[in-house]
Structure 1
Amino acid sequence: MITISLHPDLQKYVPSFKIGCIQYESIIIDSPPKELKGRIELFQKTVELDLSEQPITYYEGVKEWRQVFKQIGADPTRYRPSHEALFRRLKQGKGLPSSDSSAIVLNNFFSLYYQMPIGLYDLEQVQGPVEVRTGKDTDEYEGLNGRINHMKGKITNVDHYGAFGSPMVDSKHSAVSSNTKHILQLLYLRPSLSENDAHALTDNIGEMFQQVHGGHVETAVLSKHRPEIK
């Protein structure tokens, strides 16, 4: 697995901060299988029904990640975690973002189902080592939202060349395409998860993603007990 580390400053703000790391090799990205699309559509309808009567904070994972942003020093009403943005789309009747990529469709489903942000990165566009830390003045990138995202004081993934992703939005540079064969998936795990549950969830997501895309998978969890993997 590519070298990934968790900066200790993050755990000063959030002592139980954890990142699930999954690396996939030799995968094949295609259109989502019909069975997968059907399951996601059913889940989407359930969420839309819930949100027709409940606020976004009905979901514990939304409340928890808002609190993480506050503890880091980022305003969660101005900078929204990516899974909250997905829930908001469903509450507003916009549906999930349209995509013919099995990887992106499945990633969005995991993010909603497990109520946490999840980043997906083309490993051929990432030059290790990778560090997850709070952003500095110079950390910025063009995001998938079409804007230049300034990452000072926000949770940021940084490689040899600079910032390339976050729990809010990922960069165009490291985006996964239909030609991507090697992926780094970062799970911004809910801090309330125990160490054992964090490992089990990371392994489970890696296995389910591999079932759809083939290839090889390797998983690990970054935490105060293991702040770096190689």
Structure 2
Amino acid sequence: MIHIKADEQLFAQAGDVKFGIIHYEGMEAGNIPSMLVGRLQLYIEQLHTELQMKEWADYPGITAWRKIFKKTGADPSKYRPSAEALYRRIKKEPSAPTGNSSIALNNFFSLQYKIPLGIYDVKAIKGDVHIKIGSETDRYEGLNGRTNTLNRIIGTFDEEGVFGSPYVDSVRTSIQDDTKDALQVVYFHHDHSIEQAGKMLEAISKMFIQVHGGDSSIYLVSHENQKIDI
């Protein structure tokens, strides 16, 4: 069992954020199925075209997470929320999805809903999980190929330190082709109601299982429900 707890101070600074937690068991990750590659590529190409004609202010999810970064004291122009970083890469080039299918699908969800998502290998998570705002001493090797400092940015922590965030996730807990159990974190902003968040989690879980098999359990961490057990 993993205990997951959100810090009270987090809500005092960030406002009414919510954290969707999906626990996948018995999944089969690996190369992206050809059918999914085609679907994702079409979506990315359409989004690339759309982005040439729109401003970032036209995407409420992106602007909402920029505001949350500002509330916690981070500069969103220097530390971009991961959904915005994805959008900016696709605006430059509609690159084809590659690599592990679960990571590719996780990125698709982030593009579709315009919010950060993270997915982590459960066997690499050590002990319980604490969701809180990081400090200048919280450093980790990120999937961006750099050593990152999670100063004044929301993060997910285990007993070894930070392993994920709406900024960039860690190498330590990244999904591998042999991953069977995963923990997915969906970072909802203040405009998402409890009901909306629940429906989005159901849709994400359903599609993920259709591709990867296995079972899932869905939870929501909020100011009203700061502790869960999975």
TM-score interval for Structure 1 and Structure 2 normalised by the shorter chain: over 0.9
Work out whether 1:101 is the aligned partner of 2:100.
yes
Work out whether 1:194 is the aligned partner of 2:193.
yes
- Looking at structure 2, the residues matched to 211 and 94 of structure 1 have their Cα atoms a distance apart, in angstroms, of 25
- Looking at structure 1, the residues matched to 155 and 165 of structure 2 have their Cα atoms a distance apart, in angstroms, of 5
**Maintained 8 Å contact 1:56/1:87:** no
1:36 corresponding residue in structure 2: 36
1:2 corresponding residue in structure 2: 2
1:151 corresponding residue in structure 2: 150
**Maintained 8 Å contact 2:116/2:187:** yes
2:27 corresponding residue in structure 1: 27
Tell me the amino acid that sits aligned with residue 106 of structure 1: L
- Looking at structure 2, the residues matched to 67 and 187 of structure 1 have their Cα atoms a distance apart, in angstroms, of 17
TM-superposed CA distance for 1:123, in Å, is 0.6
- Looking at structure 2, the residues matched to 39 and 190 of structure 1 have their Cα atoms a distance apart, in angstroms, of 27
Structure 1: gaps of 5 or more residues: none
- Looking at structure 2, the residues matched to 54 and 102 of structure 1 have their Cα atoms a distance apart, in angstroms, of 29
CA RMSD of aligned residues (A): 1.4
**Maintained 8 Å contact 1:142/1:148:** yes
Percent identity, aligned pairs only, is 39
Question: Secondary structure of the residue that 1:53 maps to in structure 2?
Answer: coil
CA displacement, residues 124-166 of structure 1 (integer Å, 9 cap, x when unaligned): 1001210110012321101111111111211111101111111
4+ runs deviating over 3 angstroms: none
**Maintained 8 Å contact 2:73/2:153:** yes
Tell me the amino acid that sits aligned with residue 84 of structure 2: E
**Maintained 8 Å contact 2:20/2:218:** yes
**Maintained 8 Å contact 2:44/2:94:** no
**Maintained 8 Å contact 2:45/2:94:** no
CA displacement, residues 89-144 of structure 1 (integer Å, 9 cap, x when unaligned): 11112525x52311011011000001000011111100121011001232110111
After superposing the two structures, state which structure 1 stretch, 60-69 or 135-144, moved more: 135-144
Work out whether 1:57 is the aligned partner of 2:57.
yes
Question: Secondary structure of the residue that 2:184 maps to in structure 1?
Answer: strand
**Maintained 8 Å contact 2:48/2:94:** no
2:78 corresponding residue in structure 1: 78
Question: Secondary structure of the residue that 1:111 maps to in structure 2?
Answer: helix
Tell me the amino acid that sits aligned with residue 144 of structure 1: L
Work out whether 1:91 is the aligned partner of 2:106.
no
**TM-score, with length taken from structure 1:** 0.95
**Maintained 8 Å contact 1:32/1:102:** yes
CA displacement, residues 62-113 of structure 1 (integer Å, 9 cap, x when unaligned): 11111111111111000001110110011112525x5231101101100000
